[in-house]
Amino acid sequence: MRQEMDSLIKATEDTAALLGLLDKYKAENNILGQEVTLRELGSQNRLAGHFYTAIKYLYQAYEIANDNNDTIEISHICNQLAVNFGRMGMLDQATRYHLTALHYISSYSDFKNPNNYKQYLSAINGIGKIYLLHNNYKAADSVFHKSLAGEKKINSRRGIAINMSKLGQSKQKQGQIDSALYYYKKSMDANLQDHNTLGIGLSHSNYGSLYLQQGKYDKAIEEFKLASDYLIKTTDTWYWLEPILNLAKAYIAKGEFEAAKAQLDKAQKLTNEVHAMEYKARLYECFHDLYKKQGNYKEALNNYTRSTMFRDSMHFCNEKDRIHILYENLDQTRKKQELAKLASDYKLEKSKRIYTALGSAIIVLLLIILLTIMINLLKARKQRNELQKQLELTRLNFFRNVTHELRTPLTIVIGMSEDLMENEKPSMSIIQKYLARINRQGKVMLELVNQLMDFNKVTSEIGLKQNYRHGDVIAHIAGILEDCEELCHMKQIQLSLARYEPEVNMDYEPDFITKILRNLINNACKFCPEEGGIIRVTTQVENNNLLVRVKDNGIGMDEEACKHVFEPYWQSKDGSQKKSSTGIGLALANRLVLAMNGTISVESALGTGTTFSFTLPLKHKEKAKSN
């Protein structure tokens, strides 16, 4: 009767159909039908990863079976409940229901019945898994060997494969690689004989974990991919996670972070569907390893905290010693009294463990936070020292360049004056020639001093006084180019102006525009070839702004130089710009453009010349005076 009912219900794979059968059996008051249907609903929900729903159905089945003293069904349901709680990481509840199943089977069931004996072996195997989770390898091995002997007795290849696999996992955890490989091969052989897709997939996963432990990452990845290919064909989503997480670990170890992240994202989606604390702890542990290797310590710390939280939740109920005592004394007549005493002691000890675990977690978290703060402080200190060194080097370079810029014209002035003093009767033409050169070098020095003063003003709180005018700015720009023609002519550089509009009337600050263009043209002259150099200035109106470009065919700049060229005192470090400079000309031009609510940019590449562009609004917010 029971076997026929089991076969009928298992053949119904649709949940809606099972619920229909349940209603039918309730109407007929068919107790066995209700028990088996509810148990199957629990099984199907477990396979889909809906553990809470599965437990709800199993509790209903348990109540019906308990009310009707159906000890066979109670033991079967208890084993199912234990599996669900185990997958959720609630090991205390898993242990309780495996022990309850053992109690009912040992006390009331006939071992001659294969189904009853199978439930007995399942309960023993479940207790062995819990021992293994608690790293109690001696007890775990003993239980698995006992379960294995029973599975061999009834010639269950699937049961043999499961216990061989668990013995291999125990040996692997103990570092006995050869023994682990022996049991894994035995498990694979049994699964192949049984044509068990799930078992074959788990065997490949076992091989992969061995290779991963030995650092053979390519082989590990190959085995985990095979495992995933087999397990994805099964309906039990719980087992899909194992090879995915292990595959991520292998990719992290190899440094293939994108591949690892893809696997972890897949695993995270599954863990949200499968409410399993064990896998969630392992998932965040993998994320911690990934972010730590990538140097993202903030995310690594966050994921370490999450992993610790889930692991603490799993280990609060660590009752391995008491479980072992209960298991060894299952056949004693005082079983119920011991279970009652255990429940009382367990509650007290559980409370102590919770507080201890919480205290430990808080201490670890505080230590991690303190360590992170110290690391950040050390990094900040190092950066501050490097910045101070850079500022000092910049200051020295600035004074050296200013000194060089002033010394050259001063040397010429002193040399010319000494020549005049030594010549007792110089002709008027010589006097005029020397005085002209002295005057020109004096203007160079004056322009440098004025530039330094302007830069000091524009960077201080006082600022430069702005005196806007309204008129034709193109005419003003043409005048500036005329003043610069002499410098360009001396270096045989061609200077030209191209205007898209012959006249542009706008509000502009004449002194600012003069300083900006002179600095840009002087900069272009420094880096243009002395013969065949070309500087082209273009003007046009765009979107109510005046756009001015200064383009040269000089040596150009690399990308790094373009990023820093407007910074005060900046000098090229690559040796491409060998001309001396104070490092404030372009910085001053930048500040003056910004002071007029404009923008300035540079485009350049080594060997292709440089183009500086700046825009100025045609209208100023304050009323400008007419020229």
State the architecture of 465-615 in CATH terms.
2-Layer Sandwich (3.30)
Dihedral angle at the C-alpha atoms of 267, 273, 274, 278, nearest 10 degrees? 50
Instruction: Report the pLDDT value the prediction gives residue 464, as an integer from 0 to 100.
Output: 61
Angle between helices 31-47 and 71-87 (to 10 degrees): 20
* Tens digit of each residue's pLDDT (9 = 90 or more) over 328-371: 444 444 545 555 666 677 678 778 888 888 888 899 999 999 89
What does the pLDDT average to over 137-146? 92
Instruction: Report the pLDDT value the prediction gives residue 356, as an integer from 0 to 100.
Output: 87
Mean pLDDT of the chain: 83
- Written as six digits, the tokens of 170 are 């125990």
Cβ(342)–Cβ(305) below 8 Å: no
d(CA 128, CA 301): 34
* Domain at 196-293: CATH code: 1.25.40.10
Instruction: Report the pLDDT value the prediction gives residue 626, as an integer from 0 to 100.
Output: 62
Taken as a whole, the chain contains a residue count of 627
- The answer to whether the Cα torsion of 385, 391, 393, 395 is positive or negative is negative
Cβ(521)–Cβ(561) below 8 Å: no
Q: pTM score, two decimals?
A: 0.48
Tell me: pLDDT of 576 over 80. no
- Written as one string, the DSSP assignment of 169-207 is HHHHHTT-HHHHHHHHHHHHHHHHHHT-HHHHHHHHHHH
* Tens digit of each residue's pLDDT (9 = 90 or more) over 229-253: 998 888 777 788 888 888 999 999 9
Locate the domains of the chain by residue range: 196-293, 465-615
Cβ(34)–Cβ(25) below 8 Å: yes
Q: Considering only CA atoms, which of 477, 577, 564 is closest in space to residue 526?
A: 577
Residue 621 vs residue 283, higher pLDDT: 283
d(CA 520, CA 551): 9
| Tokens 């990094």 sit on residue | 379
* Residue 516 CA, distance from chain mean position: 45
Helix (H) or strand (E) holding 240: none
Lowest mean pLDDT among 448-452, 494-498, 545-549, 553-557: 448-452
Dihedral angle at the C-alpha atoms of 308, 311, 313, 317, nearest 10 degrees? -140
